[in-house]
Amino acid sequence: MNLSSKLFLIIFILAITLMICVGALFYLQWSHIPMSILFLLIIALWSVSFGFVLRKTILKPINKLTATVDALSLGDLSVRADIWSKDELGTLGIAFNNMAQKLQSYYGELETKVTERTEQLSKSLENVQKQNLSLEDTKKAMINLLEEAHELEDKLKVEKESVEHKVQIRTQELFQEKAKLISSIENLPVGFMMVNIEMELMVVNNLAEHMLGGVKSVNLINEVKKILGAKLDLVEYVKQCGIHKKRVIFDNLERNGKVIRILLSPILTGEKNDICIGVVILFEDVTEAKIAERSKDEFFSIASHELRTPLTAIRGNTSMILQYMDGQLKDPQLKEMIKDIHESSLRLIAIVNDFLNLSRLEQGKVQFKTISVDIISLIRKVIAEMQGSASEAKLHLTLKESTAPVPRVLADSDRVKEVLINLIGNSLKFTEKGGVTVSIDPQKDKLKIIVTDTGRGIEPKNQRLLFHKFQQAGSNLLTRDTTRGTGLGLYISKLMIEGMGGNIKLEHSIPNQSTVFSFTLPYVAKVDNI
């Protein structure tokens, strides 16, 4: 039975009862007091019973529901309405309890989410605090940097002023140095010209302009090209100067009736001197020097020819006296004097021959008769001729045969013989014990002849002078032994070997141990099997 039915029934019964009681009272008209009191008591009792039933049925559940609502409003989500009636109040209690259960569940989820969010916020707060600390550190660092920057700015300002002052001073110095350099260039005894890598004229002195015939500066480079002609491609030389890095010299260039020597030298820079920024060109008027040299050569030639005849006569006469009149020379001193005259004449003839050879070689008057030469046979002949000198000095003189086949060379046999005699003779002169060995080294493009001795060696400081005029192995111009020659032998040998397309050099020399000279000669034909 639902709540409305219950209320209707109660009210209905109450109304019937009241009607009966009121009717009974009116019937009795208050005449029968005891009965009236009884009816009043019944009415009162009925009212109390009705109130009790009403309270139990309606008011009590409502009060429970109200208490539950109050508990819920205070936050106690675990409270439930204890209503088990099957009327509307029971249904309302069940619905209220379901609502409370859902609220509790929602509240639990909310608390979980709040807890999680609180933790997230706590972590975020920690991160923010850390970031704040980091920002604070960054702020302090930035402040320090700003302070350092200000300090640096002040230092830079001071340094800038110092640098500007130094630059000003250095600029003045450079200006002065430039003025000195220009003055020095103008006062050079040679013509001076400098071009950059783009073939632009950078510097030129008056002497260079004069030596080039007073040509305007804009045409000077073209004038140099004309003078060099086919000898050198000036543009290509300047373009490749950073690669070849070589200076070149051209002698005997004719210009306006004068003989000019031109020297070209790259201007190199960089840590390894591998960057070319231009080329310096020097012009030297060697007309007077050439005239003097020619006069000197003519003098030596004439003098040598004039000296050669009487010296030959002296050599021949003294040789005949010593050979055919040995028995008639009773005086030992006279005999020794004649012998000295004979040896001196030989030395003088050798000197004269050196001067003649030198003059002819330097003037280019020597014609090399290059033919196919059996170098082994030639060496054997020279060794045989010089074997007596070696034996007299108690030295061995040998040829070290090559195990490989020795091709024929293209050379002037007489000139090769002179070179061999000179090299072997020098080795014998400067060797006290041991001896001299000649060996052959066939190479791919040339034949190498090596002369090795066990002599005194050559000091390192003297080695670079060996192939210069008037220099002797192991001596210099001031201290050389004048009884041993002119010091022209190696220089003449160099000119001869180079004239035949070869090369001569000092391989190495160890003082008091050994000295090794070598020279090369070209093959008659190309050799591929070596």
pTM greater than 0.75: no
- The whole-angstrom separation of Cα 505 and Cα 403 is 24
- Percent of the chain whose predicted confidence (pLDDT) is above 70: 72
- The whole-angstrom separation of Cα 473 and Cα 486 is 11
* Burial category of 239 from C-beta neighbours within 10 Å (exposed 0-12, middle 13-18, buried 19 and up): middle
- Percent of the chain whose predicted confidence (pLDDT) is above 90: 14
* Burial category of 119 from C-beta neighbours within 10 Å (exposed 0-12, middle 13-18, buried 19 and up): exposed
Which helix (H) or strand (E) segment holds residue 474: the answer is none
Instruction: Of 19-33, 39-53, 234-248, 377-391, give the range with the top mean pLDDT.
Output: 377-391
Confidence class of residue 50 from pLDDT cuts 50, 70 and 90? low
| Residue with the larger pLDDT of the pair 6 and 282 | 282
- Are 238 and 199 in contact by the 8 Å Cβ rule? The answer is yes
* Number of other residues whose CB lies within 10 A of the CB of residue 234: 20
Q: 180 lies in a domain?
A: no
| Residue with the larger pLDDT of the pair 386 and 332 | 386
Beta pairing class for 275-285 and 191-196 = antiparallel
Residues 457 and 476 in one domain: yes
Q: 294 lies in a domain?
A: no
Count of domains observed in the chain: 4
Triad 209, 211, 212: Cα angle to 5°: 65
The two structure tokens encoding residue 504: 């001569």
Per-residue pLDDT, averaged over 248-252, amounts to: 85
Confidence class of residue 482 from pLDDT cuts 50, 70 and 90? very low
Give the pLDDT confidence score for residue 234 in this predicted structure.
Answer: 87
Instruction: Of 15-29, 173-187, 494-508, give the range with the top mean pLDDT.
Output: 494-508
Instruction: Of 31-40, 126-135, 470-479, give the range with the top mean pLDDT.
Output: 126-135
Residues 13 and 135 in one domain: yes
Question: Would you put residue 252 in left (φ > 0), alpha (ψ -120 to 50) or beta?
Answer: left
Pick the last residue of a domain from 362, 386, 414.
362
- The whole-angstrom separation of Cα 289 and Cα 285 is 8
Residue 34 in this model has a pLDDT that exceeds 70? no
The chain-wide mean pLDDT, for the chain, equals: 78
Give the residue among 455, 463, 345 at the shortest CA–CA distance from 471. 463
Query: pLDDT tens across 447-473, in order?
Result: 999 999 999 888 888 877 777 665 554
| Residue with the larger pLDDT of the pair 258 and 1 | 258
Residues 217 and 271 in one domain: yes
Give the pLDDT confidence score for residue 396 in this predicted structure.
Answer: 94
Residue 72 in this model has a pLDDT that exceeds 50? yes
Residues 350 and 209 in one domain: no
- The whole-angstrom separation of Cα 259 and Cα 285 is 6
- The whole-angstrom separation of Cα 143 and Cα 139 is 6
Confidence class of residue 431 from pLDDT cuts 50, 70 and 90? very high
Query: pLDDT tens across 336-395, in order?
Result: 787 788 777 776 766 666 666 666 666 666 677 889 999 999 999 999 989 988 998 899
Residues 32 and 81 in one domain: yes
Residues 55 and 128 in one domain: yes
- Check residue 523 and report its DSSP letter: B
Residues 278 and 311 in one domain: no
Strand order in the sheet with 446-453: 396-400, 435-442, 446-453, 514-522, 503-510
Question: In which residue are the tokens 């609220």 written?
Answer: 103
Pick the last residue of a domain from 316, 335, 362.
362
Per-residue pLDDT, averaged over 138-145, amounts to: 83
Pick the last residue of a domain from 362, 382, 409.
362
Give the pLDDT confidence score for residue 245 in this predicted structure.
Answer: 79
Which residues, other chains included, contact 332 with Cβ-Cβ below 8 Å and sequence gap of 6+?
none
Residues 247 and 316 in one domain: no
Residues 272 and 306 in one domain: no
Residue 185 in this model has a pLDDT that exceeds 90? no
Residues 440 and 468 in one domain: yes
Residue numbers of the domain that contains 425:
371-522
Any idea of the CA torsion for 114, 120, 126, 128, to the nearest 10 degrees? -110
Instruction: Of 112-121, 269-278, 419-428, give the range with the top mean pLDDT.
Output: 419-428
Residues 305 and 388 in one domain: no
Q: 178 lies in a domain?
A: no
Give the pLDDT confidence score for residue 103 in this predicted structure.
Answer: 76
Residues 116 and 25 in one domain: yes
Q: 460 lies in a domain?
A: yes
- The residue type at 122: S
Q: 160 lies in a domain?
A: no
